[in-house]
Copies of this chain bind each other. A is one copy, B any other.
Amino acid sequence: MSEQQQEQRPDLPLDVFAAFCPSREVFAELADKWSLLILASLHRLGEQRFSELQRSVSGVSRKMLTQSVRTLERDGLVLRTVHPEVPPRVVYGLLPLGRGLAERVVTIGDWVEANSPAVIAARAGFDEGRGTACEVA
């Protein structure tokens, strides 16, 4: 009882750069491939069931999908709704909290799609330089 909401001390600045800070833990949990792609996919396509999500985030294994989506649910970003039918139907959707994050995540997805040619070109240059240097030596 008694909402034990720890009124976060303003003297503890919640800094993602601090290893010990709770916000770092949150950041570390979210900053992975699958979590970000799931958020972005839910943002783009809206509510999806498990298998739809697995298709839309192509390449994710059932295990990792379950795990990531569980974490997102636990963190209050995603709502998991079980329709007790047969066969079972489980639908995942963004909660308001998750939507705020997802909006920012999609900007990163967009950046990557827009700039991956440049990145790949840079890689080619880097590897070529390295390679040449090695060959010459």
From known contacts A17-B37, A26-B112, infer whether A122 and B97 are also in contact, taking CB-CB under 8 Å: yes
Copies in the complex: 2
- Are the CB atoms of A112 and B23 closer together than 8 Å? yes
Q: Give 1 or 0 for each of A1-25: 1 = CB within 8 Å of chain B CB.
A: 0001110100001111111101110
Query: In chain A between 64 and 118, which residues have their CB closer than 8 angstroms to a CB of chain B?
Result: 73-77, 97, 100-101, 104-105, 107-109, 111-113, 115-118
Instruction: Tell me the nearest residue of chain B to A18, going by C-beta.
Output: B58
CA distance A116 to B13 in the complex (A): 11
A30 to B105 Cα, complex, angstroms: 12
Is the CB–CB distance between B97 and A118 below 8 Å?
yes
In the assembled complex, 29 residue pairs joining A and B whose CB atoms fall closer than 8 Å, in A order, are: A4-B124, A5-B121, A14-B113, A14-B116, A15-B113, A16-B37, A16-B40, A16-B112, A17-B56, A19-B58, A20-B58, A23-B112, A23-B116, A24-B59, A26-B116, A27-B37, A27-B116, A31-B36, A31-B37, A32-B33, A74-B122, A74-B123, A74-B127, A75-B122, A77-B122, A97-B118, A100-B115, A105-B108, A108-B108
